Copies of this chain bind each other. A is one copy, B any other.
């Protein structure tokens, strides 16, 4: 099904175990979803990916957790990653996305794709008003 064989006992590798432990501690959940189990085929790739996901998504910042998850979901839809659409829709629901908000995200993603294509098809020149003064 996948292009790699995920390790059968991933946590026998101490580097993998450390990442899985940190995922569990950070998310306060025992559930390790498949992307991490498959990335474990290469401990370095796993470590670096989790390090970045934790820093960007699981650290308090100037955007609230639900907004961040909705941005992640929107990118995943446009990049057409089926796994990611499933995992980040579930993630957004877990962070409080209501059904109305879900529908609204879909409306924005669909509308943006539509107007993106119109602007590309028309080759609309950028308004001088959008350009910044060099600092």
Contact = CB atoms under 8 A, between A and B. Distances in A.
Nearest to A72: B112
Contacts of A49: 110, 114-115, 118
Contacts of A31: 129
Interface residues of A, number: 86
Interface in A91-135: 98-127, 129-135
A80 to B, nearest CB: 5
Contact of A112 (B41, B71, B130, B131): B71
A82 B35 contact: no
Contacts of A53: 111, 115
Contacts of A119: 35, 81, 83-84
